[in-house]
Amino acid sequence: MRALRLLALFVPSAALVAACVLEGFNRVEGGPMDGGTGLPTDGAAGTDGGGGGQVACVSAGPPDAPDAAEAGGSAKFVLAVRKVLVIEQSDGGVLGVDVDRMCTCHGEGSSCKPALGAGDASVCDDPEGRDNALQGLFGIIQLAMPDKDLSELYSERADAGEWSVLMRVSGYNAQENDSEVQVTSYVTTGLNPHGLGPYPLWDGTDKWPISAACLDAGPDGAPSTDYPLYTTDFAYVSDRMLVASLPKSEMVFAGTVARIGLVITGGLVMGRLSPSPTGWRLTDGIIAGRVAIKDLFRAISGYRDEDGNALCMSSPFYDSVRNSLCKAVDTLEDLGGSPSQPCDSLSMAIGFEAQSAMLGTIMPPPDGGAGCTPDADPINDSCLLVPADAGGDG
Residues 170-225: tens digit of each pLDDT: 999 999 999 999 888 888 888 988 778 889 999 999 999 998 888 889 999 999 99
Tell me, yes or no, whether 389 lies in a domain: no
Q: For residues 5 and 153, what is the distance between their CA atoms, to the nearest angstrom? A: 15
* pTM beyond 0.75, yes or no: yes
Tell me, yes or no, whether 394 lies in a domain: no
Do residues 354 and 80 make contact, with C-beta atoms less than 8 angstroms apart?
yes
Range with the largest mean pLDDT of 179-183, 253-257, 298-302, 304-308: 179-183
Please report, for residues 185, 264, 334, 369, the alpha-carbon distance to residue 365 in angstroms, rounded to integers and kept in the order given: 16, 20, 31, 12
Q: What is the mean pLDDT of residues 220-235?
A: 86
Query: What number of other Cβ atoms are within 10 A of residue 300's Cβ?
Result: 25
What DSSP line would sit under 19-57, residue for residue? EEE-SPPPP--SSS--TTT-PPPTT-EEE-SSS--EEEE
Residues 114-163: tens digit of each pLDDT: 766 555 556 777 777 888 887 777 766 666 666 677 788 888 888 999 88
For the chain, the domain total comes to: 1
Query: What number of other Cβ atoms are within 10 A of residue 241's Cβ?
Result: 19
Question: Which amino acid does the sequence have at 125?
Answer: D
Tell me, yes or no, whether 22 lies in a domain: yes
Do residues 167 and 358 make contact, with C-beta atoms less than 8 angstroms apart?
no
Domain assignment of residue 179, given as a range: 2-380
Tell me, yes or no, whether 387 lies in a domain: no
Query: What number of other Cβ atoms are within 10 A of residue 381's Cβ?
Result: 20
Q: If DSSP codes are grouped into helix, strand and coil, which group holds residue 108?
A: strand
DSSP-assigned beta bridge partners for residue 108? 104
Tell me, yes or no, whether 392 lies in a domain: no
Tell me, yes or no, whether 393 lies in a domain: no
Burial status of residue 56 (CB atoms within 10 A of its CB: 0-12, 13-18, 19 or more):
exposed
pLDDT value, residue 368: 63
Tell me, yes or no, whether 83 lies in a domain: yes
Tell me, yes or no, whether 331 lies in a domain: yes
